[in-house]
Amino acid sequence: MSTHSRWEAVIGLEIHAQLATKSKIFSGAATTFGAEPNAQACAVDLGLPGVLPVLNAEAVHMAALFGLAIDAEVALESTFDRKNYFYPDLPKGYQISQLAQPIVNGGQVVITLGEGEAAEQKTVRVTRAHLEEDAGKSLHEVFAGMTGIDLNRAGTPLIEIVSEPDMRSAVEAVAYARKVHAIVQYLGICDGNMQEGSFRVDANVSVRPKGQISLGTRTEVKNVNSFRFLERAILFEIERQIELIEDGGTVQQQTRLYDPDKDETRMMRTKEAADDYRYFPDPDLLPVVIEPATLAIWRDSLPELPDAKARRYQSEYGLTPYDAAVLTSSKETAAYFEQTLAALADRLPDQVADAKLCANWVTGAIAAQLNKTGLAIGDSPVTAPSLALLLVRIVDNTLSNKLAREVFEAMWAGEGEPDAIIDARGLKQITDSSAIEALVDAILAENPDKVAEYRSGKDKLFGFFVGQAMKAAGGKANPQQLNEILQARLGPPGEQA
């Protein structure tokens, strides 16, 4: 948007998270992903006449946990409504949802923007989160020229998490979606698998001239099944709307689909208003009542969540707010960091220094490799206990940072544990000062002219001597010792020895 600085984007997200219950929200059918089509759809899910829904208590529990985690008001009484529409994957002709009295009201999610020292926090407000049932799926690619209907997904419990229009860029929207994703995974209420559709994000996007208070007309973009596509789809949509308005057009309220192959959004339908759905209270379901005592027990059962964990990393280990945010950004990353620290605990004395070193490696070398290979940290070929072994060899001075990086690359490539690699490749750092002195003396003896130049003031030559001595040492001399010995042998530049 840099070329359109007159404009400001406004984004609000609607996130559908499938709740990780064993059975469906209103029936006993299983919810496992990937079963034979229609093998997990019972009479209730098929919408056969005469059946009645029975609410799954675990779905209520999970939705309430989400509300507690984002500091929302969890309603002690909430109700179900019918949202009526026709679609082949919705045999009842209505979706059971919550409109008038949702289970979760308000709440907020804190996101971290920017990097390192420049990192800042921003609070995004959540409007509400309600319980509802998922629809089935239309399969267009299985039978030539025909569409198949798979109702396995019908009746899978969802929470729809609706944000306020608080985000101002694609980056902010992605940070918010990632944070919600982290929270549901920390809580264990959703597996978070975006490819399988367990966590789906719809982006509402509008633009307005900077300084204008009222909101512009929005479009809702669907079909984004990764965080990268979410960012691309929003960027495209912002540009499209700005260009449209600047060319004299107006934005229509529409639902649009993101096409990842073409990297564009396309009109799917004009937006329906709530009236079109003819919502009314579901007469088959009683209000959901949660006892205050039950809610208190649930509150006490909450696990340590990302923000609390990040605060603990800062106070216990002296990590920066940014590093703490990165390390807690997913449950797996935090687990990896903590497993590495646990493996170091009985080997190294200084917990704070070790945690900082460990944080640097997890947010640095490990993150870079994961990024490059697209692997999740849980699938890292360098496991937490192996990383700990490497860090031990840095702290005990066997390895310089440079050698450690070489050992790390070899570990990543599957060459084994650090000690075996150090032996096999002869990578042990030279820390014997007499050996380094001998190397330095030989270099100085070979280069009398350069020594003289250095001593007459050309102090840039110091780097030359370091380079030559390091080369003679096969890159293995302890850099700090090498520097000190060279300093001592050469004397300060510009002075005669």
Length of the chain: 497
Shortest distance, CB of residue 212 to ligand ADP, whole angstroms?
Answer: 11
Nearest C-alpha neighbor of 276 from the set 259, 253, 298: 253
For residue 183, the minimal CB distance to ligand ADP (Å) is 17
Sign of the torsion angle spanned by Cα atoms 133, 136, 137, 138: negative
Residue closest to ligand ADP when measured from CB atoms = 12
CB 410, min distance to ligand ADP, A: 48
Per CB under 6 A, residues contacting ligand ADP are 10-14, 162-165, 204-206, 215-216, 218
- 56 or 204: whose CB is closer to ligand ADP? 204
Question: What would the DSSP string read from start to end of 125-186?
Answer: EEEEEEEEE---EEESSSSTT--EEE-SSTT-EEEEEEE-S-B-SHHHHHHHHHHHHHHHHH
CB of 45 to ligand ADP, least distance (A): 25
Q: Which is nearer to ligand ADP, 163 or 398 (CB)?
A: 163
Residue placing its CB nearer to ligand ADP in the complex, 19 or 124:
124
Torsion (CA) 308, 311, 317, 321 in degrees, nearest 10: 130
| Residue nearer to ligand ADP on the CB measure, 175 or 486 | 175
Q: At what angle do helices 351-361 and 306-317 cross, to 10 degrees?
A: 130
By beta-carbon proximity to ligand ADP, the closer residue of 205 and 436 is: 205
Q: Which is nearer to ligand ADP, 181 or 331 (CB)?
A: 181
Contact 163, 13 (CB under 8 A): yes
Q: Rank residues 172 and 323 by Cβ distance to ligand ADP and give the closer one.
A: 172
Tell me how far apart the alpha carbons of residues 251 and 361 are, in angstroms, rounded to a whole number: 47
Report how far residue 237's alpha carbon sits from residue 225's, in angstroms, rounded to the nearest whole number. Answer: 16
Q: Tokens 């450690």 identify what position?
A: 404
Of 39 and 215, which CB lies nearer to ligand ADP in the complex structure? 215
What's the DSSP call for residue 18? E
Least Cβ distance, residue 178 to ligand ADP (angstroms): 17
CB of 194 to ligand ADP, least distance (A): 19
> In angstroms, what is the minimal distance from the CB of 203 to ligand ADP?
8
Tell me the closest approach of the beta carbon of residue 297 to ligand ADP, in angstroms.
31
Q: Tokens in use for 86? A: 């026709």
- The pair of structure tokens assigned to 390 is 């490497």
User: Considering beta carbons, is residue 69 or 221 the nearer one to ligand ADP?
Assistant: 221
Minimum gap (Å) between residue 112 Cβ and ligand ADP: 21
Residue 249 has which token pair? 């057009």
If the CB atoms of residues 84 and 369 are measured against ligand ADP, the closer one turns out to be 84
Nearer Cβ to ligand ADP (269/471): 269
Q: Which is nearer to ligand ADP, 83 or 455 (CB)?
A: 83
Which candidate, 129, 16, 156, 9, places its Cα nearest to that of 71? 129
To ligand ADP, the closest distance from the beta carbon of 43 in angstroms equals 31
Q: How far is the CB of 247 from ligand ADP (least distance, A)?
A: 20
Please state the separation of Cα 104 from the chain's center in Å. Answer: 23
Least distance between ligand ADP and beta carbon 205 (Å): 6
Q: Residue 80: helix, strand or coil by DSSP?
A: coil
- On the CB side of 372, CA atoms within 13 Å amount to 9
CA 294 – CA 77 distance, rounded (Å): 13
Distances (CA, A) of 224 to 141, 228, 258: 19, 9, 6
Question: Which pair of tokens denotes residue 60?
Answer: 């209520």
Cβ–Cβ under 8 Å, residues 225 and 197: yes
- Among candidate residues 250, 247, 224, 246, the one with its CA nearest the CA of residue 235: 224
Residue 361, classed as helix, strand or coil, is: helix
DSSP 370-386: HHHHT--GGG-SS-HHH
Smallest separation (angstroms) from ligand ADP to the CB of 307: 22
Q: Decide whether 204 or 333 has the Cβ nearer to ligand ADP.
A: 204
Strand 219-224 versus strand 254-259 pairing type: parallel
